[in-house]
Amino acid sequence: MLQKKENYRVAIIGATGAVGEEMMEILASRKFPLESLKLFASERSEGKIYDFLDDELRVEILDQADFSNIDIVLGATSADLARIYTPKALKAGSVIIDNSSAFRMEPLVPLIVPEVNGDLIATHQGIIANPNCSTAQLVVALKPLHDAARLSRVIVTTFQSVSGTGKNAIDELLQQTKDILSFKTPERNVYSEQIAFNCIVDWARDPETGDTEEELKIIEETRKIMGEPDLPVTATTVRVPVFRSHGESVTIETEKKLSLNEARALLSEAPGLTVLDDPARKVYPTPLDTADQDNVYVGRVREDRSCKNGLHLWVVADNLRKGAALNAIQIAEGLIR
């Protein structure tokens, strides 16, 4: 259990990845009360130096990490690595906030989006899970509508940027775009299909249902975070040639009728949400608008005339911030409170 203190010793594992670097920036910008910050990554990143506030931080090898003097570990690694290093950090007495899928559906591990179920942070037993990036922004938008009118169904189609796959995917989109515009044949390394000027579904599929891993994550994690294990949720996930920020087309049905004005008011007043919705002026959120922003943005709020109590929403957020690094640090802020 984390002891209350003035400043905290924090470590980031996977510090040199896109999410790890974002964590560093957010820790600094939000003035998280740090006594020290340790950076861990693979051997090939050993010795890399980052400027952090008034200091220079050197990356250390994750295999040699000593967690005995670390209060909070922020995990930004793969699920496989998380399963290796989380028990080590836990044994050393650290509290782990893990961004991978390794522990999200464990019954005793709270899966947290602070605006939705932040009260459950206190129930942790050493591990707190961060949700999938697409799930995080979705549930922030669903929460106020569910509280007011109770959801009876959720349908979501995602338009996910390549940064969700990591730095190599960003480089691949950039290089493929250059190659195509130079009349060269683009190479595929990160994705099985060309991502430049294309839309792909590049996640492994469940052999029984045909759903992708990403779709199942959204379904299962949304139910857990919302505290509604039987909520009907269905998802289609698509990777699009955008560098940063995920878009989601969301259709909901509610038990109680919500007018458009009521829905917009609920969304406008909810924590962590910004409504950009002015059809007459063509105002709505886009990935470019929301990149490097902390909030989840909602626009194109419309009535679904095909059912009794249906609404359509367009939900956009920076997947590296609210979808990953920011959410983890918000959890850490709740933890130390």
Is residue 153 domain-shared with residue 263, that is, in the same domain? yes
Q: Is residue 120 domain-shared with residue 140, that is, in the same domain?
A: no
Residue 121 has which token pair?
């942070």
Residue 189 sits in which domain range? 135-319
Q: What is the pLDDT of residue 228?
A: 97
Contacts for 29 with CB less than 8 Å, ≥ 6 apart:
none
Looking at residue 209, its pLDDT comes to 86
Helix and strand counts by DSSP (H, E) for the chain: 9, 14
177 lies in the same domain as 157 = yes
CA–CA–CA angle 58, 59, 60 (5° rounding)? 115
Residue 231: which CATH number?
A: 3.30.360.10
Residue 2, domain member (yes or no): no
Instruction: Give residue for tokens 């979808």.
Output: 323
Domain shared by 29 and 154, yes or no: no
Query: Per the domain annotation, does 3 fall within a domain?
Result: no
Question: What's residue 206's pLDDT?
Answer: 83
Long-range contacts from 210-217, C-beta under 8 angstroms, 24+ separation = 211/235, 212/237, 214/132, 214/134, 214/158, 214/160, 217/101, 217/104, 217/131, 217/132, 217/134, 217/135
Both 328 and 313 in one domain: the answer is no
Q: Please write down the HEC assignment for all residues of 216-279.
A: HHHHHHHHHHHCCCCCCEEEEEEECCCCCCEEEEEEEEECCCCCHHHHHHHHHHCCCEEECCEH
Same domain, 187 and 125: no
Active-site residue flag, 246? yes
Query: Has residue 108 been placed in a domain?
Result: yes
Q: Is 133 a catalytic residue?
A: yes
Same domain, 53 and 90: yes
Of 124, 133, 307, 312, catalytic = 133
Beta strands per DSSP E along the chain: 8-13, 34-41, 49-52, 55-58, 60-61, 72-75, 95-98, 127-129, 151-160, 233-239, 246-254, 273-275, 296-304, 310-317
Catalytic residue selected from 124, 146, 199, 246 = 246
Look at residue 275 in the predicted model and tell me its pLDDT: 97
Question: In this predicted structure, what is the pLDDT of residue 3?
Answer: 82
How many domains does the structure of the chain reveal? Answer: 2
Q: Looking at the structure, do residues 161 and 104 belong to the same domain, yes or no?
A: no
For residue 177, tell me if it sits in a domain: yes
Whole-angstrom Cα distance, residue 210 to residue 135? 19
List, for residues 75-120, the tens digit of each pLDDT value.
Answer: 999 999 999 999 999 999 999 999 999 999 999 999 999 999 999 9
The pTM score is: 0.95
Mean pLDDT for back-to-back runs of 10 residues, the chain (337 residues): 90 96 97 97 93 94 94 96 96 96 97 98 97 97 98 98 95 98 96 97 85 95 98 97 98 96 96 94 95 97 94 97 97 96
